[in-house]
Amino acid sequence: MNNIKFVEPQNIEKRSFEIIQNELGDFKLESEKEPIIKRVIHTTADFDYVDNLIFSDNVVKNAKAALKSGATIITDTNMAYSGINKKAAAKYGVDIKCFMADEDVAKEASERGETRATVSMERASKIQGPLIFAIGNAPTALIKLYELISEGKINPELVIGVPVGFVNVVEAKELIMSANIPYIVAKGRKGGSNVAAAIINALLYNVEEN
Amino acid sequence: MNNIKFVEPQNIEKRSFEIIQNELGDFKLESEKEPIIKRVIHTTADFDYVDNLIFSDNVVKNAKAALKSGATIITDTNMAYSGINKKAAAKYGVDIKCFMADEDVAKEASERGETRATVSMERASKIQGPLIFAIGNAPTALIKLYELISEGKINPELVIGVPVGFVNVVEAKELIMSANIPYIVAKGRKGGSNVAAAIINALLYNVEEN
């Protein structure tokens, strides 16, 4: 059909990570961060994430423990929800929730003049057990999380703060990094629902690693 | 709660596009491509797409006509499916389909030793009426589309070819650009389900523009 030699699909991921390692050359990533940074690069083909991704102390170890204990993951988009590997999550009894498309969330947001992301985070704050937030889109989600944390209403095991964009995004990321909770943040403008899902998947795939 | 001055959520998108325009400076985008390129930048915060996005002749005009006539959009991921604005699509009677999570697709792919993306494209080829493909992940989807086109089995109104990655991706994009059908392709490694959805949304939001 064509003369191009394609790599067999089952070998693509392995070969991709080899290429990423190759392009990183001698640059040494910290071992607990390495699978996360590489998976984000794999998802975006963007090596900026080598420098962009900021990890709070011990965040990876703590996040893996939370996943093992069956934490609930809350996303701020259905795209991020879709991108998380459900089988890998189910293996640890991890539930994934997104309230963004719920009609009553839209109604309440409209009545109160808030964003759906804000109302979604309030809903999420009522979930029992350990919480992990994967925020790839809405700065207002991060701002609301900062408030809920400051008010002592939640104490999340991890906030992934990787909204993408040009307005409020940088500020909201800086704010959540000041909240004294474990975080993985893509500093600057870049990020996205795909990046949020990639970080969760990298954690899930490496839960058993130390 | 904090001293940062945030832009009101309802003004974020407008302000974002102003910032994007600002950073483009005097660089002039062709008018029919402009809303698409800008929305992809808005989705990724990545200005590389100014150069990366390649449009076949008259593709935007033809794609809008197809959307107006109620084309069916097929995606290769549930992430891209999730990212497409359903209300904007419904306005023109545009249906959106993704077969990737269908159990019988997984079963057939496994039995035949093909990828689910390949089997999904075969399913899609049986849909009646004008077809638009939004491929943000799987090179094998583009390869299968190339075959189906070459065999005269489909004649799509548009193929969005924006898989992301390090293996087979560049080659599959080059292949689909040689298929003599209307395309929008992100040349090189970059792209993603979010980019595929952004291109569809930009087309939907500007259907009425010439």
Please provide the size of chain B in residues.
Answer: 210
- pLDDT per residue as tens digits for the range B89-113: 999 999 999 999 999 999 999 999 9
CA distance B32 to B202: 11
- Is any Cβ of chain B less than 8 angstroms from the Cβ of A167? yes
Query: Which segments within chain B are labelled E, that is strand?
Result: 53-55, 72-75, 95-97, 131-135, 158-161, 183-186
- Would you say residue A189 has pLDDT above 70? yes
Shortest CA distance from A84: residue in chain B: B79
Q: Which residues contact A7 (CB under 8 A, 6 or more apart)?
A: A15, B167, B168
Beta carbons of B137 and B192 less than 8 angstroms apart: yes
As a whole number, mean pLDDT of residues A147-158 equals 98
pLDDT range class, residue A5, cuts 50, 70, 90: confident
How many domains does chain A contain in total? 1
- pLDDT per residue as tens digits for the range B162-208: 999 999 999 999 999 999 999 999 999 999 999 999 999 999 999 99
Q: Kind and range of the H or E element at B195? A: helix B193-205
CA distance B206 to B107: 39
* pLDDT for position B3: 64
Interchain CB contacts (distance < 8 Å): A and B: 124
| Structural domain contains residue B2 | no
Shortest CA distance from A48: residue in chain B: B46
Beta carbons of B132 and B146 less than 8 angstroms apart: no
| Structural domain contains residue B4 | no
Beta carbons of A199 and A49 less than 8 angstroms apart: no
- Would you say residue A14 has pLDDT above 70? yes
Q: Which residues, listed in sequence order, are joined to residue B183 by a DSSP beta bridge?
A: B159
For A101, counting Cβ atoms within 10 Å of its Cβ (0-12 exposed, 13-18 middle, 19+ buried), the class is middle
Select from A168, A171, A175, A180 the residue whose CB has the most chain B CBs within 10 Å, as the one to mutate to test that interface: A168
Query: Given an 8 Å threshold on Cβ–Cβ distance, is A45 in contact with B190?
Result: yes
**Which residues from A are below 8 Å from B148, CB to CB?**
none
**Which residues from A are below 8 Å from B190, CB to CB?**
44-46
CA distance B140 to chain A (A): 8
**Which residues from A are below 8 Å from B12, CB to CB?**
139, 165, 167-168
Shortest CA distance from A148: residue in chain B: B1
| Structural domain contains residue A3 | no
| Structural domain contains residue A43 | yes
Beta carbons of A60 and A36 less than 8 angstroms apart: yes
- Would you say residue B4 has pLDDT above 90? no
- pLDDT per residue as tens digits for the range A50-89: 999 999 999 999 999 999 999 999 999 999 999 999 999 9
Domain containing residue A189: CATH number: 3.40.50.10230
Shortest CA distance from B139: residue in chain A: A9
DSSP per residue, chain A: --S--PPPHHHHHHHHHHHHHHHHTTPPPPTTTHHHHHHHHHHH--TTHHHHEEE-TTHHHHHHHHHHTTPEEEESSHHHHHHS-HHHHHTTT-EEE--TT-HHHHHHHHHHT--HHHHHHHHHTT--S-EEEEESS-HHHHHHHHHHHHTTS---SEEEE---SSSSHHHHHHHHHTSSS-EEEE-SS---HHHHHHHHHHHHHTTT--
Select from B166, B171, B173, B195 the residue whose CB has the most chain A CBs within 10 Å, as the one to mutate to test that interface: B166
As a whole number, mean pLDDT of residues A101-117 equals 96
pLDDT range class, residue B5, cuts 50, 70, 90: confident
| Structural domain contains residue A201 | yes
CA distance B98 to B167: 23
- Would you say residue B119 has pLDDT above 60? yes
Shortest CA distance from B16: residue in chain A: A166
CA distance A100 to chain B (A): 12
As a whole number, mean pLDDT of residues B35-64 equals 97
**Which residues from A are below 8 Å from B146, CB to CB?**
1-2
- Would you say residue B153 has pLDDT above 60? yes
pLDDT range class, residue B9, cuts 50, 70, 90: confident
* pLDDT for position B8: 87
Option in B147, B188, B194 nearest A79 (CB): B194
For A16, counting Cβ atoms within 10 Å of its Cβ (0-12 exposed, 13-18 middle, 19+ buried), the class is buried
Query: Given an 8 Å threshold on Cβ–Cβ distance, is B6 in contact with A139?
Result: yes
Please provide the size of chain A in residues.
Answer: 210
* Single-letter amino acid, residue A86: K
Select from A16, A82, A146 the residue whose CB has the most chain B CBs within 10 Å, as the one to mutate to test that interface: A82
The chain-wide mean pLDDT, for chain A, equals 95
Whether ipTM tops 0.95, in short, is: no
* Single-letter amino acid, residue A101: A
- Residue B16: which domain range? 9-205
C-alpha R_g of chain A: 17
Option in A167, A175, A190 nearest B7 (CB): A167
pLDDT range class, residue A195, cuts 50, 70, 90: very high
| Structural domain contains residue A122 | yes
Query: Given an 8 Å threshold on Cβ–Cβ distance, is A46 in contact with B190?
Result: yes
| Structural domain contains residue A163 | yes
Query: Given an 8 Å threshold on Cβ–Cβ distance, is B167 in contact with A12?
Result: yes
